[in-house]
Structure 1
Amino acid sequence: MNIIDVIGAYVTISALLSPLIVFLIKKYIEAKVKHGFDKGLEDHKHDLQLLTKEVEYDYQRRIHDFSLFSSKKHEVYPQLYSLISDLHMKFEIASSAYKEYPDFRTDTKFDRIEEYLKKHEVSDDSIEQVKTEWLFDKQKGIQKFQTSLDFQEILVTDKKRVEAYKEFLNKELFTGSELSDLIKEFLNDIRMVLVEETDKVLYGEYEGNRQEYYKKLRQKQEDIRGKKDKIKVMIQNELNIDNNKEMAKDTNSK
């Protein structure tokens, strides 16, 4: 076989093998690409499943936390409002410009007066002071009797205020910032009026003249009453009380 025949045979074989080699290479590349794609897809699906589980867990945790928080608010808010209402009622009595007292002017003994003062938890020292005044001058004794009752009412109210404030601090975590600020203002306004009332009761001191003092006092009482009503509305809105009442009506009517 001469060189011409060898070259011809090589060219013929190359021509026959080239499509096969190209085909095999193509298939190899396609297989590699498909394998890489499938593996990437599986990895992506795995990562996506992990992310989905993480998101679902976080969502469920948030729902659970919100449910607990909402449940706690429904427990805390009525307790807070009950304390605020009770305090306000005491405050209205303690700061009232119009008070009624039992009439002991015709009594010849101190026994009934002492019994009444003890019933209202007036201190022994104050009772002794009233008795001393009453024995020497009944009129001054009666005035001292009324002053002791007024001061005791202030003390009781301020004790309620402190209790309400402590309870509020324990529950402040569950109150919104706007409601929290309003409750603080309400409690502080009451404290300021009680301080002024203490000066008036014990020392007869007024801010300005008597008429002006009571005019300002009425305005402060109105402001405090308005804040108490606003607290009530805010708590109702927070607890969605009106909507719950409507839902209960609809349920009962069916």
Structure 2
Amino acid sequence: MNFQIPIDWGSYFISVPLILAAMWAGIRLFAKSFMNQQFNKLLETHKHELQMLMENNKFDLQRKMLDFNLFTTKKHEVYTKLYNLFLVAEGRARGIGGIGDDPFIRKYGRSEIEEYLKSLNMPSADIQSFVGNWTPENAPQIVDHIVDYLQKLEVRKAIECHQEAKNFSISSGLYLSDNVAVISKELSKNLGSFCNDLNIIYNFNLLQPDRESIAEEMRVKEKKIGELIASLKYEMQQELSIGYYKILE
């Protein structure tokens, strides 16, 4: 005898959509969870990459700042030394004519002249060559020789000082701005020409018209040197007061 369980078709048609809805909700929940997981992974990866980029940029900035600080410090040192070298060279060159103008040197006796020459660190042999045969009668001529010797010595020193400033300006070209480099080159050129004129005047026997002609040219160069020294000082002060903020890529 067969028994059949009656099917409640009404309940069946009601439960199937509920099951499907539940399944769809589960699928959506799973998909949402999966997408959230993937998004979180991507977000973490992006955050890590961003952090690495920030660290690299921070390191690069620190390196550039260090390089810049070192460059700026060196630039200050170079400018200070270069200006002082040109200032000393200019002072040496322009001060030579004043040697012997001191009226007291003409009134010094033998011992006073000897002490004076020692104070100039003149070699003992040279001092003795001047004062060894000193007499009241030949004292004026000896003093003339001493002044001539000192003037020629100062010419050599002026030439050496100019050469030192010139060489330093060339060797330090990496730290010079274009304006400072141009002014330094022009200043060095005029100082060199001025020193060459000094060498000619004090080491060669010239006719008076030739001497006066050179002296006139030197006055023009002397004025130009003074203007260039002032320009160099101004340009350096401008750069060092505001900083030289140019980062090379």
Q: TM-score, normalised by structure 1?
A: 0.65
Superposed displacement of residue 82, structure 1? 2.5
**2:186 match: secondary structure:** helix
Unmatched segments (≥5 aa) in structure 1: 132-137, 242-254
2:116 and 2:83 map into 1 onto residues whose CA distance is 32
Residues 29-63 of structure 1, C-alpha deviations (whole Å, 9 max, x = no match): 22222222111111111111111122222223333
Tell me what 1:175 maps to.
176
RMSD of aligned Cα (Å) = 4.5
Deviates more, 1:222-231 or 1:114-123: 114-123
Superposed displacement of residue 202, structure 1? 2.6
1:98 and 1:35 map into 2 onto residues whose CA distance is 92
Q: Would you say the 8 A contact 2:197–2:218 is kept in 1?
A: no
Q: CA separation of 1:104/1:91 partners in 2, compared to 1, >3 Å: closer, same or farther?
A: closer
- Mapping of 1:4-153 within 5 angstroms? 12=13, 15-94=17-96, 96=97, 100=101, 147-153=148-154
Q: Would you say the 8 A contact 1:183–1:231 is kept in 2?
A: yes
Superposed displacement of residue 156, structure 1? 0.9
1:166 and 1:145 map into 2 onto residues whose CA distance is 31
Residues 174-233 of structure 1, C-alpha deviations (whole Å, 9 max, x = no match): 433322332232223211221233223333459x95444333211111111111111222
Superposed displacement of residue 105, structure 1? 9.5
**Identity percentage of aligned residues:** 24
Which protein has greater RCO, CA pairs closer than 8 Å, 6+ apart?
2
**1:240 match: secondary structure:** helix
Q: CA separation of 1:53/1:178 partners in 2, compared to 1, >3 Å: closer, same or farther?
A: same
Tell me what 1:228 maps to.
229
Paired amino acid for 2:232: I
Q: Would you say the 8 A contact 2:99–2:151 is kept in 1?
A: no
Q: CA separation of 1:85/1:221 partners in 2, compared to 1, >3 Å: closer, same or farther?
A: same
Tell me what 2:203 maps to.
202
Tell me what 2:135 maps to.
none
Q: CA separation of 1:71/1:103 partners in 2, compared to 1, >3 Å: closer, same or farther?
A: closer
**1:100 match: secondary structure:** coil
Tell me what 1:219 maps to.
220
Q: Would you say the 8 A contact 1:122–1:149 is kept in 2?
A: no
Paired amino acid for 2:65: I
Deviates more, 1:58-67 or 1:208-217: 208-217
2:113 and 2:144 map into 1 onto residues whose CA distance is 12
Paired amino acid for 1:223: K
Q: CA separation of 1:101/1:126 partners in 2, compared to 1, >3 Å: closer, same or farther?
A: farther
Deviates more, 1:155-164 or 1:71-80: 71-80
Superposed displacement of residue 157, structure 1? 0.7
Paired amino acid for 2:61: Y
2:117 and 2:199 map into 1 onto residues whose CA distance is 18
Paired amino acid for 1:218: R
Tell me what 1:250 maps to.
none
Q: CA separation of 1:36/1:126 partners in 2, compared to 1, >3 Å: closer, same or farther?
A: same
Q: How many residues align?
A: 227
Q: Would you say the 8 A contact 2:197–2:214 is kept in 1?
A: no
1:238 and 1:222 map into 2 onto residues whose CA distance is 25
Paired amino acid for 2:37: H
Tell me what 1:191 maps to.
192
